[in-house]
Chain A
Amino acid sequence: MAVTTPSEVGAQPVRAGRRPLLSSSRLAWTGTLPFLGYVGVFLLLPTGIVLWDAVHGSSGGFDFGAVSTLWSSSTRSYFVNSAELSAITSVLGAVLGAVLSYAVATGNPEGLIRRLYLAGSGVLAQFGGVTLAFAFLITIGPTSGLLLHAGWFYDFPQGIGLIYVYFQIPLMVLVFLPAMDGLKAQWREATETLGGSAWQFWRYVGGPLLAPAFLGAVLLLFANALSAFATIAAWENQISYVVPQQIGTALSSEVGLSSVNQADVLALGMIAVVAVVMTGYTLLQRRTTRWLR
């Protein structure tokens, strides 16, 4: 008797708790409404506004005239510059970052070096912002550099490219290290047992395994460089070279421009490019998880 009582007592509130409102899985989703509402207003709505405004003229009707300016030579040059800067820095950052990831991955997973590099990578890749431009200005700035006076500091793309590589390498470490960690030591040993050389391991085993992850990372870095604004704004705010700078200019001086929604149109162009790049990234990511992890 004494044994059965607790279970009965324990069972009762469960039944009591299963009031229709709470247990009905039809209504349970309403628990996520605050989240959905918040994301709707501050993420989906702004994106929707950009898309809507880009294809609507000031009169209110559909008007693709503004969108067609994406193909005008002046606008195209911003996209070409953006693509150039992003391509150079993503490939360079990915190659160098992969080398660094390999060095980190082969070390002690609990070691201090790995910890320092990971924390440092997080800061420099994601939270650097305008500070990175200041740091390079004082290191290699044309007049103020402590290390050297680089005359090419304000040249596009090499000057800003160097600063971009500085945050692309850490991002590569963050996104590529999991793939490197997934490379099993047994595969290397198996290759060696079968008489394979280091070259043969990387050519026939490690390389093909890591290739999708690597290409995916290149795409992610490309999107990252494409959308970066803070660093390039602090580097040079007189001349617009890339799309984000021009969006900034269009936003802060909306009055003087021929078309009011130039910022929206440029943003639409960015969304299109980033969507293509990120779709490629997602596909490659799926391919990566087949073997690694």
Chain B
Amino acid sequence: MTGLHARRRRRVNAFRYVVFTVFGLFFLLPLLAMIRFSLEGSTGGSWSLSSWGQIASYAGPPPLLSGVEITLELAVITCLVVLALLVPTVIWVRLRVRWMTRLVEALCLLPLTIPAIVLVVGLAPIYRVIRQQFSLSALQLFWVYAVLALPYAYRALAAGLEGVDVKTLSEAARSLGAGWFTVIWRVIVPNMRQGVLNAMLLTGALVLGEFTIAYLLLYTNLQVTLFYVSRGTPNAGVLFSTSSAALLFAFVLLLILSYVGRARGRQSERSKVSK
């Protein structure tokens, strides 16, 4: 019996190594090619870091740094808006209006089924109003980016709230005289930090890679800037250094997320044991 298992285990392992190697090559080759090209010097085959230095200095057209700045600012603003909007809602629904759980969940997941390319058609008239009434700045994109981030943020927050005994915590806090604001932001949120952090990481990664809506609403964020650089000078090294940097940044965000998720899992296991 154990012989059978050992043999199967060996076969599965051999299969796994082959699969990981083949897929690893398929996924890594384009990325490595991009990085290799970004490190190419002025003559073919040489190595240089100049393309990476150009991320800060590339004057365009269009200037790269402003695209980077806009996108980073958008990431921060979008994170804050998503949290301000979703955290109280998710907790409130859990505490007081459980019958709305399905509705809120459905609304949050809806952006997954309405393609961005469809949404942008309907957004065009709305953004015409925003441009006329409020501001021309590309930062206004946060309104719709928060919607795009809803599915990811909702799932992260809902998972974060799963292990929290919301009812007991809120009753305890209320009985000590806390208002609902204190209950939500100072009692429950600290218990779901990991969920909040996950939501922020995913939202940040999303904003970093967004192109469709910005491009079609005629705003210039990082991806749109890269798009125009590629139209003008398709072989600019800076194109590939910046693209690699953005992808690596998103990858690091999600890798952090995977470790944070584990820390939380362990914590809840511990608390189960102690009970």
Interface of A with B (CB < 8 Å)? 10-11, 13-14, 17, 22, 25, 28-29, 31-32, 34-36, 38-39, 41-43, 45-50, 53, 96, 99-100, 102-103, 106-107, 110, 113, 115-116, 118-120, 122-124, 126-132, 134-139, 144-147, 166, 169-170, 192, 198, 223, 226-227, 229-230, 233-234, 237, 244, 247-248, 251-252, 263-264, 267, 270-271, 274-275, 278
Contact = CB atoms under 8 A, between A and B. Distances in A.
A130 to B, nearest CB: 5
Given A103-B16, A134-B240, A144-B235, A43 B254 contact: no
Interface in B224-253: 226-227, 230-231, 234-235, 239-240, 243, 246-247, 250-251
Contact of B4 (A14, A119, A120, A192): A192
28 contacts: A14-B175, A36-B107, A42-B147, A43-B107, A45-B122, A46-B119, A96-B23, A99-B19, A113-B20, A118-B254, A119-B254, A127-B205, A127-B206, A127-B208, A130-B223, A130-B230, A131-B223, A135-B30, A139-B29, A146-B37, A170-B27, A227-B117, A229-B211, A230-B211, A233-B211, A248-B117, A251-B124, A274-B114
Interface of B: 4, 8, 12, 15-16, 19-20, 23, 26-27, 29-31, 33-34, 36-37, 85-86, 88-89, 92-93, 96-97, 100, 104, 107, 110-111, 113-126, 143-144, 146-147, 150, 171, 174-177, 180, 205-206, 208-212, 215-216, 218, 223, 226-227, 230-231, 234-235, 239-240, 243, 246-247, 250-251, 254-255, 257-259, 262
Contacts of A147: 29, 33
Given A43-B110, A123-B205, A270 B147 contact: no
Contact of A120 (B16, B27, B119, B211): B27
B interface majority secondary structure: helix
Given A42-B144, A103-B19, 8 more contacts: A13-B177, A14-B171, A17-B174, A35-B85, A126-B205, A127-B205, A127-B209, A135-B31
A120 B243 CA distance: 15
Contacts of A14: 171, 174-175
A60 B235 CA distance: 48
B209 A274 contact: no
- Top 6 A-B residue pairs of the complex, sorted by shortest distance between their CB atoms: A46-B122, A227-B115, A127-B209, A135-B30, A230-B211, A49-B122
Nearest to A110: B262
Contact of A223 (B29, B113, B262): B113
A177 to B, nearest CB: 13
A130 B211 contact: yes
A106 to B, nearest CB: 5
A119 B23 contact: no
A178 to B, nearest CB: 12
A44 B97 CA distance: 22
Interface class of chain A by DSSP: helix
Nearest to B118: A267
A222 B262 CA distance: 31
Contacts of B144: 42
B211 A47 contact: no
B36 A47 contact: no
A240 B84 CA distance: 40
A250 B86 CA distance: 34
A269 B126 CA distance: 21
Contact of A130 (B107, B114, B171, B226): B226
Contact of B215 (A28, A38, A166, A233): A233
B226 to A, nearest CB: 6
